[in-house]
Structures are given as structure tokens and as C-alpha cells.
Amino acid sequence: MWFIIPAVIVSLIVHDTYFYWMHRLLHHPKLFKYTHLVHHKSVNPSPWASYSFHFFEAITEGAILLVIVMIIPMHGISIGLFVLIGFMINVYGHLGYEVTPKWFRNSFLFEISNTSTYHNLHHSKFKGNYSLYFRFWDKVMGTENPDYVKEYDRIQNQRFG
Ligand SMILES: [Zn+2]
Ligand SMILES: [Zn+2]
């Protein structure tokens, strides 16, 4: 029982790693137009884009659940929370609006996690910011959009003055 919450955290980290590399693969020119292009038809996405995928991508996206239950001892509650949190973050990433509070910018959460602005830049530029939950892989692999922080600040300044 004690592992219910840690299992969710570990599964989100595993999912982020899985998603980052799968996403980069789908951006390979030979695969992109046959698969991931469907998702990128939303240049300025809305929550409806969250699960707008090509059939092949939907299968590879969904396969994460199999990977997770095979490598992590997951309680049913952990699986439920993982799916729910993943769904909420996915919708937030495609919201088309930034909703993070002002304090978020100066917290460590800003340094480690994605925002709606983060994924929105991926959709508008078609490259960079490939990760799903955390900035880790984009930072390590040098794929983070260099204008991200500037763009985030511009939007938040508009919201909060
Ligand atoms: Zn993409
Ligand atoms: Zn997207």
C-alpha cells in the first residue's frame, strides 16, 4: 500500500521518458507525414487535440500502460491515478491558454515541469519541447525551445501585469 503514490510518480517519469523518445521518432521525416502529422494539424491546439492522433500513434501512446504494468508493481489505485493525472496534464498542455499562478515562475516546479506554453510552442514551431511532463529530457538533449522562458514571461506579464 505504501507504494501507491511512489508508483504514480515513477510511472510518470517512465512515461515521460517513453513519450520523449517515441515523440522524437515520430518527428523523423520518414514517419512524420504518415503518423504524427494528424496531431500537428492543431497549430494552436485546444483540449480536443489532446487525443487527436493517427491510429498508429494511438497504439504506441496507449502501449505505455503495458510497459508500466510490466516493469512497476502497480496497485489498481496507482493505475487509476496515473491515467487520471496523465489525462489532466495532457488536456492542460493543449489548453491554448496559460493558467499557472504567478508564484509558479519562481518555484522549482517551473524548472522541472512542462506548462501549456511549453507544449504550445511545440505545436507552433513543429520542433523542440518534445517532452510530456518534465523539462528533463529536452534540457539534457538540447531540444528545449530557446525562447520558451521569454515566451512564458511575456504571457504571464500580459496576465498579471
Ligand atoms: Zn510533435
Ligand atoms: Zn500535442
- Ranges of each domain in the chain: 4-160
* Residue whose entry in the numeric block shows the C-alpha cell 504571464: 156
Q: Residue 155 pLDDT more than 90?
A: yes
Query: Which pLDDT tens digit goes with each residue over 81-99?
Result: 999 999 999 999 999 999 9
- CA of 53, nearest ligand number: 2
Can you tell me the distance from the alpha carbon of 39 to that of 57, in angstroms, rounded to the nearest whole number? 9
Give distance in angstroms: CA of 127 to centre of ligand 1: 7
Give distance in angstroms: CA of 119 to centre of ligand 2: 6
DSSP state of 97: S
What's the pLDDT score for residue 18? 97
Q: pLDDT band for 50, please (50, 70, 90 cuts).
A: confident
What's the pLDDT score for residue 11? 97
The pTM (predicted TM-score) of the whole model is 0.93
Q: What secondary structure does DSSP assign to 15-72, as a single string?
A: HHHHHHHHHHHHTSHHHHTTTTTTGGG-SS--GGGGG---HHHHHHHHTHHHHHHHHS
Number of helical H runs and strand E runs in the chain: 9, 0
Q: Residue 51 pLDDT more than 90?
A: no
Q: Residue 64 pLDDT more than 90?
A: yes
Query: Which pLDDT tens digit goes with each residue over 96-151?
Result: 999 999 999 999 999 999 999 999 999 999 999 999 999 999 999 999 999 999 99
- CA of 36, nearest ligand number: 1
- CA of 119, nearest ligand number: 2
The distance between the two most distant Cα atoms of the chain, rounded to a whole number of Å, is 48
What's the pLDDT score for residue 124? 94
Q: What is the mean pLDDT of the chain?
A: 95
What's the pLDDT score for residue 120? 95
Q: State phi, psi for 134 to the nearest 5 degrees.
A: -120, 155
- CA of 47, nearest ligand number: 2
What's the pLDDT score for residue 161? 83
Can you tell me the distance from the alpha carbon of 82 to that of 31, in angstroms, rounded to the nearest whole number? 28
